[in-house]
Chain A
Amino acid sequence: MRLVSAINRFGWGQRESGSSDIPLREWLSRQLDAPDAAMFRTVGPCSDGLIALREQRKTKLQGDPLVKPIFQMEVTTQLDNLLVTDQPFRERLAWFWFNHFTVSLRQGGTRAVIGAYMREAIRPHVTGHFSDMLLAVMRHPAMLMYLDNASSIGPTSSAGRKSHHGLNENLARECLELHTVSPASGYTQTDVTSFAAILTGWSIDMKAEQPGFVFREKAHEPGEKTVMGQTFPEGEDGGVQALHFLGTHPATYRHIATQMVGHFISDTPSPQDINHITSVLRDSDGDLREASVALADLHDTNRSGSKFRSPMDYATAVMRALSLGGAPSQPDDPHSPAHQLYAAFASLGQPLWTAPLPNGWSDNAADWSAPADMLARTDWAWRMAAHVRAGDPMEIAHIALGPALRPQTQLAMHHAGSRQDALALLFSSPEFQRR
């Protein structure tokens, strides 16, 4: 029972009652030491999406007819997994890192590959070294498309001299600012430009039989480049080295430690907490498994529920509390659990994979608790609760919240005249808004 608060904070909301009283650290590390149990058997590699995109463009097909089914399959399989996963901590980490390395549907073309990006660039590295995840992200077609690097050309490269096209700094800047060292490290505009030059030629080969990442020698800016006092050679390897340098930089460890504490522990991370995770990262060469498990050291029950649930957290927790999901959703069935969840994210203000900017969705209560947001949650939960056919609402409440369930909420639920009203009260209680 004591674990419920941790399960909510580190996972996606308690589903059914598995009240084993193992220590938190062990509960967390077990999920990370076992292989990722998510299978995603119905979706293919990133190249499938790129081929679909290529065919659509070649034949000028309107309305995304080839990409749409791929995207729908990605949404259903990944949200189905979110609803039923037995590795909720691993799952939360995957979505956390996705948000850290945001790719958004707001940028055209990403729809074809965004699901594959999550599966190929993020998930395999959740328990690995940060610099490996960084490299996988920066080489993935989704990121190269989203932050425009695919078309960035070295001005003095052979392609640049011919086409008079040049650098696009977008990916290089966001990589420094958001993904790695952050402005606190004191990098300059020269560093940004120089790093962008390093990344020239990192592009997508759309013509290959298996389209995907390619290093275009002809678009690569010649010569050595220096970023933050470190010199890197010309060529693809210069980029790999630069990313390793940035991915293991002390400023990066501090930055991602701050993000992790902000996501898991508090909107206003304390210096001690940040220091703790930073030092774990530093001592382990950026081992994300170690850093993730170390978050358990910062979890004390007095502070449980200190994080406000984002719409995605909230809708997922409601549906998990109601034990929805299980059988695979059909990609074209609008009433399947995965589609209901997908629709809920949108109607509650956090549409799936559609962050407005490269810095991803906010992790702060203030951004998710406007009056209209709260009423939208209540109204949605009330509609969801209308479909609950069986089960005792109080039992659902105890499983979902454990000791965080307040007597006041229990009393209100006890007096509710219908299952629907009782569940709407549970899902509108202040304790359910938090993890």
Chain B
Amino acid sequence: MMIHRRTALLGLAASWTLGRSSLAFAGSPGGPDDPRFVVIILRGALDGLSAVTPYGDADLRTHRRDLVLPEPGQEGGLLDLGGFYGLHPSLQTLHSLYGEGQMLPIHAVAGHYRSRSHFEAQDYLESGADNRLSSGWLNRAVSVLQGKANRPDGYGLAMGLTVPLLLRGSAKVGSYAPAGSQHPDEDLYNQIVALNASDPITGPAFRNGLKARGFSDATMTGMKNASETGKPRKPDAFMQLSTAAGQMLATPHGPRIAALEIGGWDTHAAQLGRLGSPLAQLDRGIGALRQSLGDSWKRTVVLALTEFGRTVRMNGTGGTDHGTGTVTFLAGGAVAGGKVGGTWPGLRPSQLFENRDLAPTTDLRAVAAGVLCDHLHMPPQAIATVFPGPKTDTQKGLIVSA
């Protein structure tokens, strides 16, 4: 471990000083042992209380009895995280990583902004500021980190059809989308079919079009989702992207930072049934990253974050509405995991934010800054560039010390 850390440091330092002319050389010392960083944006607002449930909090069930899964050990129950928190049962991979000390959920986090609009909040989340900027914090971090090291496809890499705001900006980044990923996911198609159901022209057209593409009727009417139809699972788009990202990050002179995104979190209704599928996708994606990163996994940090949390109380349709505090996940061989981070704010009405949301106790920017500084060795004075606006702390102890 010691050696790895040193080479990583050396690699970055070398590329810093040698400059552009050192193309061939800068790549080699800063090669395979570089730290890797993957950011996954969960678009649509993940309900943190369902992903990492504080089943030990006596007030939880008064707010959302019908949304709480059985306690650990019971059938279909939570996966225990040390006696107070339980992990959603769809997060099997994350749970085993937790057991290996490689997974660190941090509870009650939120960005510094307060917005309950998806679109605004996602813009702020990715800008790393309280307003919308034209570049993302990860791109600014890449500018600081890559020095002048030239990599054929850039130091950063966006996975998917477009480069998200998170990675947009002056630093050159690559992007990658596998063939066949250029259309909406099944869930969105289903919504579109429903939206057109009563139309005499477009209704049958959408239904038949999707049928011709191999979607079953049952899927389209929303009776079942694909995981229940009993067919062997095809790798979903997110898993494909994750695998590809891991492979590219593992290449000796490939990119070192990647961003992915995954939707399906906006559970306003029937949350209990609907959250399992996106969580399982996320879980498989992180599993795919681990597998495809191979030996580089031990130098990797994956950060999964979402724009805001959801209301603590269940709404009238078995779901939750837009809220504030939520959970964020760190996973990877370089993560000092096996515990739940953050400060639990409590769930008594007086403890809630605006008497409805989980009160945030950790600034999401501090978590990101902690990873950038301690894992990617970003100089602390660069934090103000990466996260402009109100000063950000740097969360310590997220990364295993070398």
Contacts and interface: CB of A to CB of B under 8 A. Distances in A.
Given A386-B161, A415-B266, A430-B202, A375 B196 contact: no
Contact of B165 (A379, A389, A417, A428): A389
B45 to A, nearest CB: 7
A392 B161 contact: no
A430 B199 contact: yes
B206 interface: yes
B95 to A, nearest CB: 25
Interface string A352-386: 00000000000001000111111100110011001
B195 A374 contact: no
Interface stretch (A176-184, A327-335, A419-427): A419-427
Given A372-B209, A428-B195, A417 B266 contact: yes
A369 B188 contact: no
Contact of B118 (A373, A390, A409, A417): A417
B195 A371 contact: no
A371 B212 contact: yes
A85 interface: no
A408 interface: yes
B184 A418 contact: no
Given A421-B184, A425-B188, A392 B119 contact: yes
Contacts of B194: 412
Given A415-B266, A419-B119, A425-B195, A375 B210 contact: yes
A372 B188 CA distance: 17
B123 interface: yes
B90 interface: no
B263 A418 contact: yes
Interface in A224-266: none
A371 B206 contact: yes
Contact of A430 (B162, B196, B207): B196
Interface in B181-237: 182-184, 188-189, 191-192, 194-196, 199, 201-210, 212-213
B192 A378 contact: yes
A138 B115 CA distance: 62
Contacts of A421: 184, 188, 263
A429 B196 contact: yes
Contact of B196 (A386, A389, A392, A428): A428
A429 B195 contact: yes
A393 interface: yes
A424 B199 contact: no
Interface string B28-67: 0000000000000001110000000000000000000000
A365 B199 CA distance: 13
A419 B188 CA distance: 13
Contacts of B207: 371
A378 B263 CA distance: 18
B202 A383 contact: no
B5 interface: no
Contacts of B188: 382, 421, 424-425
Contacts of A374: 202, 205-206, 209
Nearest to A379: B183
Nearest to B192: A428
A424 B184 CA distance: 8
Interface string B250-269: 00000000000001111010
Interface in B306-323: none
Contacts of B264: 417
B300 interface: no
Given A412-B191, A417-B265, A379 B184 contact: yes
Contact of A372 (B43, B123, B191, B212): B212
Contacts of A416: 44, 118, 191, 266
Given A387-B162, A430-B202, A375 B209 contact: yes
A197 to B, nearest CB: 46
A418 B209 contact: no
Interface string B135-171: 0000000000000000000000000011001000000
A379 B182 contact: yes
A83 to B, nearest CB: 21
Contact of B132 (A370, A387, A390, A430): A390
Contacts of A372: 209, 212
A408 B205 contact: no
B292 interface: no
Interface in B59-79: none
Contact of B43 (A365, A378, A418, A428): A418
B118 A418 contact: yes
A71 to B, nearest CB: 28
Nearest to A426: B195
Nearest to A419: B119
A390 B117 CA distance: 13
A16 B43 CA distance: 27
A98 interface: no
A102 interface: no
Contacts of B266: 415-417
A362 to B, nearest CB: 14
A296 to B, nearest CB: 26
Interface in A307-366: 308, 365
A409 B206 contact: no
A14 interface: no
B122 interface: yes
A308 B201 contact: yes
Nearest to A418: B43
A365 B201 contact: yes
Contacts of A392: 117, 119
Nearest to B209: A371
B209 A417 contact: no
B176 to A, nearest CB: 14
Contacts of B265: 417
A278 interface: no
A152 interface: no
A430 B195 contact: yes
A378 B188 CA distance: 10
A266 B203 CA distance: 20
A422 B117 CA distance: 13
Among B184, B206, B210, B266, chain A packs the most CB atoms within 10 A around the CB of B184
Contacts of B199: 430
A419 B209 CA distance: 24
B204 to A, nearest CB: 8
Contacts of B195: 408-409, 412, 425, 428-430
A301 B265 CA distance: 39
A419 B43 CA distance: 10
Among A373, A386, A419, A421, chain B packs the most CB atoms within 10 A around the CB of A421
Nearest to B199: A430
A433 interface: yes
Interface of A: 308, 365, 369-375, 378-379, 382-383, 386-387, 389-390, 392-393, 408-409, 412, 415-419, 421-422, 424-425, 428-430, 433
Interface of B: 43-45, 117-119, 122-123, 132, 161-162, 165, 182-184, 188-189, 191-192, 194-196, 199, 201-210, 212-213, 263-266, 268
Per CB-CB distance, the 8 closest pairs between chain A and chain B, nearest first, are A417-B44, A371-B209, A417-B266, A430-B199, A375-B209, A371-B208, A374-B205, A379-B183
30 contacts: A369-B201, A370-B205, A371-B204, A371-B205, A371-B209, A374-B202, A375-B209, A375-B213, A379-B183, A382-B183, A383-B182, A389-B165, A409-B195, A412-B191, A412-B194, A412-B195, A415-B266, A415-B268, A416-B266, A419-B118, A421-B188, A421-B263, A422-B119, A424-B188, A424-B192, A425-B188, A425-B195, A428-B206, A429-B195, A433-B202
